Amino acid sequence: MIKPFDDTYFMRKALQEAEIAFEKGEIPVGAVIVVDDRVIARGHNLTEMLNDVTAHAEMQAITAAANFLGGKYLKNCTMYVTLEPCQMCAGALYWSQISKVVYGARDLERGFITMKTQLHPKTKVEGGVLAEEAGELLKRFFVTKRNLN
């Protein structure tokens, strides 16, 4: 059976969210949550706009997906996120019982793998999907930020 969409298709949707964050002056991280090949939630970083350290792309998407589904558990859902989730977001993903997390670039400083944070035992994890594109967007953001300061 041929899947109509693949991981790169949905990661490109997450990258579109990251671009929105970039345009708003936010660290460019984007996320989408998918169920049955359908995007049910989107999010991008809003920490500066909301003055809220918890307003990460993943948190925005988790809340939107829970609202869409009418419940707090994201079983049978996949999150596509452009940067490896941090410890806080990994904790929220753990509690949501999401079925799969696909991330783009690794976060070697603050990512959940480096921090040794566990996701739910049933959650599958795949990394490196469009990692180069996600990493380039982050690099461009920080170069731009440094040049403005």
> Is 86 labeled as ligand-binding?
yes
- Listing from the earlier edge strand, what are the strands of the sheet with 78-83? 38-44, 30-35, 78-83, 100-105, 124-126
Stretch (H or E) spanning 43: strand 38-44
The answer to whether 89 is a known ligand-binding residue is: yes
The catalytic residues are 58
Backbone angles phi, psi at 143, to 5 degrees: -65, -45
* Residue 77, marked binder: no
Tell me the binding residues for Zn(2+): 56, 86, 89
Tell me the binding residues: 56, 86, 89
